[in-house]
Amino acid sequence: MAKQHDIVVRLILVGDSSVGKTCMICRFAEGDVELPMGTTVGIDFKMKHTKVEGKRVRIQLWDTAGQERYDTITQQYYRRAQGILLVYDITNEKTFINLQKWVNYVQDYADDEVELTLIGNKCDRKKERRVPTSRGQEFARNLNIPFYETSASKSKNIEKAFTEITKRVMARHRQEYSRLNIDEPDRSDTLSELGDTPTAPERGCCM
Ligand SMILES: Nc1nc2c(ncn2[C@@H]2O[C@H](COP(=O)(O)OP(=O)(O)O)[C@@H](O)[C@H]2O)c(=O)[nH]1
Ligand SMILES: [Mg+2]
């Protein structure tokens, strides 16, 4: 049976607990965020099928727990990620300060070719903002990576941030993908070389 996708793109979200990683994934994958969210235990994932630049893409969205006790588990997943979203909460300065820890993990454990994006989430909470946009911009500029302020609650910039990083991953792996003849529908099964089946159980995150 032919596959329903041409390409698999593996993204992972990292950042402190409660910055909104699970909500962002739910918003993007399911178009909805129901409250209250359960705390992510260890690692979880969701899938999103979409079309990007004419290709049928299956995006694997790996959701990590922000608590330190899970760090050694989640580090094992960095290596397989093609894109990593570094997430902080614009209303909580500590989550911004802690970004350096997450960047260090990425440098230690992720592939050199990984695409990164910085996300300042909860931008709907304007009155409680503690991290000015300019600080996020500066942090991203120093790393030479894209930056978006998002709101998972209000669905602001979520689609854009995920789609842009997916495009960057696709651009970086273009040669690899074209070797697999992704434009020939009859040969789509050969793409299993790039399609990894995640081992974590697919759980609802919006209970
Ligand atoms: N106002 C607002 N709250 C958010 C947003 N994203 C997440 N939250 C809330 O922040 C809390 C933590 O979200 P969650 O996705 O579980 O964070 P995680 O620990 O990083 O996965 C929850 O109470 C969410 O409802 C957002 O964009 N705006
Ligand atoms: Mg979570």
- Give the total number of structural domains in the chain: 1
Contact assessment for residue 114 and residue 14, using Cβ atoms and an 8 Å cutoff:
no
- CATH code of the domain in which 109 resides: 3.40.50.300
- d(Cα 89, Cα 10) in Å, to the nearest integer? 23
Looking at residue 68, its pLDDT comes to 73
* pLDDT, tens digit (0-9, with 9 covering 90-100), for 60-90: 999 988 777 777 878 888 999 999 999 999 9
C-alpha 20 – ligand 1 centre gap (Å): 4
C-alpha 8 – ligand 1 centre gap (Å): 27
- d(Cα 105, Cα 101) in Å, to the nearest integer? 6
* 35 falls within a domain: yes
Domain interval for residue 153: 7-179
* 86 falls within a domain: yes
Is residue 37 lining ligand 1, measured as CB closer than 6 Å? Answer: yes
Looking at residue 73, its pLDDT comes to 78
Is residue 40 lining ligand 1, measured as CB closer than 6 Å? Answer: yes
Q: Which residue numbers in the chain have pLDDT < 70?
A: 1-3, 33-38, 40, 179-207
Is residue 20 lining ligand 1, measured as CB closer than 6 Å? Answer: yes
pTM (2 d.p.): 0.86
Task: Calculate the dihedral angle through the C-alpha atoms of 73, 79, 84, 90, rounding to the nearest 10 degrees.
Answer: 40
Contact assessment for residue 9 and residue 171, using Cβ atoms and an 8 Å cutoff:
no
Q: DSSP assignment, residue 115?
A: E
